[in-house]
Amino acid sequence: MSTIHKGLVGVVADTTAISEVVPETNSLTYRGYPVQELARSCSFESVAHLIWYGELPDAAALARLSEREGAQREVTRSTIGVVDRVPDNCHPMDLLRTAVSCLGAEDPAEDDNSPAANRAKAEAMFAKLPTIVAHDFRRRRGLARIAPDPGLGFAENFFHMCFGTVPAPEVLRCFEISMILYAEHSFNASTFTARTVASTLSDIYSAVTAAIGALKGPLHGGANEAVMRMMLEIGDPAFAGDWLRERLAAKEKVMGFGHRVYKDADSRVPTMKAAFVEMAELQGGQRWVAMYEELEAAMMAAKGIHPNLDFPAGPAYYLMGFDIPMFTPLFVMSRITGWTAHVIEQLESNALIRPLSAYTGLPQRAIPLAA
Ligand code: ACO
């Protein structure tokens, strides 16, 4: 009988040069740079360049990337038409999954899997996804669409398309920090999904569409939404400890805690928590910080499990004014960089991803005569 690695726990499936997670030293690097330092000193566009092209851009390269991104934000009327026909009571991740499929169907070079073509498509999705997410956000609120403004930076333009205004620099910075921290994390479930699709030599849009489906799950990206719903349900920090202990006693998982790879602590949490605390100070949301502390302390005391990135990101997005079902689409706007870099890397030395299974069903048998 072969050894079964349920959930592929501990399996090293391939090599990657994009990011390294070292749980022993609690570190995460993108192309060799610690993610905390990138979050402190770089723009999200610079980090996207690093993830795709392997190096941080100089001023001229960054200006060129920003120009290409700004020029490609608009989506076709046909994509907007499809978005508008998707029922607005569905989850926004369903809509995003459909919209990326549309982008693929519209692209005459959809099946060109050369690195140059796939990098161009990655940049195009990076530019267009915020436009789709913002449009969906406004249509669900019964508001008219706001067109992208090519004169604004990535984060500024996104807030402009959602709210019609650009917020304070501190809010933009917290948002950019979240985008940088969410951008890439080696062979997580959605990235591995994208690589699996790419390994069949399908197209990059199909890989991203599948990755969106994987990210939607509450054990993965959907946790940032679940965290905020949980906090709203608890309501008052004074009830947080009891609430959490009751859930654990009922053998329920508490969203925003635990990680497959990090068992000591998630390396991204301190940076995101600082951004969340800053948001709370700016927007008068100290109640959520108090609740965060209560839940964290109760979980550590009960099970010694640390928060993951979704725990501070959920309430930070709430304080920025976004609707809860939109939190995972925000994650997509960031992780599109990592997913597409992995698709390109997979295709550089491709092998079809096709594991084996150990059969546990009935032994071979004959079909009954009367059947
Ligand atoms: N709440 C309560 N108990 C937990 C949690 C949690 N969030 N996470 C792990 N545990 C417990 C399990 O119940 C189990 O306990 P047991 O041994 O007594 O049965 C033990 O810790 C191991 O848990 P597993 O689920 O087997 O560990 P795994 O490595 O598969 O889990 C996972 C990782 C899926 C992320 C898990 O911690 C979880 O479900 N967390 C909640 C969902 C979440 O926040 N996901 C976001 C992940 S990060 C991201 O996508 C950015």
pLDDT band at 1 (very low <50, low <70, confident <90, very high): low
Share of the chain above pLDDT 90, in %: 95
> Cα(176) to centroid of ligand 1, in Å?
27
> Cα(96) to centroid of ligand 1, in Å?
27
> Given the CA of residue 256, which atom of ligand 1 is nearest to it?
44
Q: How far apart are CA 302 and CA 245, in angstroms?
A: 8
Query: Tell me, what DSSP letter sits at residue 361?
Result: S
pLDDT in tens, 198-240: 999 999 999 999 999 999 999 999 999 999 999 999 999 999 9
Q: What is the pLDDT at residue 370?
A: 79
Q: How far apart are CA 352 and CA 201, in angstroms?
A: 8
Q: What is the rounded end-to-end Cα distance, in angstroms, of the chain? A: 33
Question: Of all protein residues, whose CA lies closest to atom 13 belonging to ligand 1?
Answer: 253
pLDDT in tens, 114-140: 999 999 999 999 999 999 999 999 999
Query: Tell me, what DSSP letter sits at residue 6?
Result: G
Question: Of all protein residues, whose CA lies closest to atom 20 belonging to ligand 1?
Answer: 258
pLDDT in tens, 152-193: 999 999 999 999 999 999 999 999 999 999 999 999 999 999
> Given the CA of residue 266, which atom of ligand 1 is nearest to it?
48
Using the predicted structure, report yes or no on whether residue 371 has a pLDDT greater than 70.
no
Using the predicted structure, report yes or no on whether residue 112 has a pLDDT greater than 90.
yes
Output the ligand 1 site: residues, CB below 6 A: 7, 219-221, 223, 253-260, 303, 305, 308-310
User: Helix, strand, or coil here: 307?
Assistant: strand
- Catalytic site positions: 259, 310
Average pLDDT, the chain: 96
Per the listing, tokens 């990206």 go with 221
Q: What is the pLDDT at residue 26?
A: 84
> Cα(275) to centroid of ligand 1, in Å?
24
> Looking at beta carbons, which pairs linking 231-237 to residues 24 or more positions away fall under 8 Å?
231/288, 231/291, 231/314, 231/315, 231/318, 234/291, 234/295, 236/287, 236/291, 237/287, 237/290, 237/291, 237/293, 237/294
In 3D space, the residue among 242, 218, 213, 238 whose CA is nearest the CA of residue 228 turns out to be 218
Q: How far apart are CA 235 and CA 223, in angstroms?
A: 18
Q: What is the ipTM of this complex?
A: 0.96
> Given the CA of residue 188, which atom of ligand 1 is nearest to it?
50
> Cα(323) to centroid of ligand 1, in Å?
25
Instruction: Tell me which of 303, 310, 328, 331 to substitute to probe ligand 1's pocket, judged by most ligand atoms within 8 Å of the beta carbon.
Output: 303
Residue-level length of the chain: 371
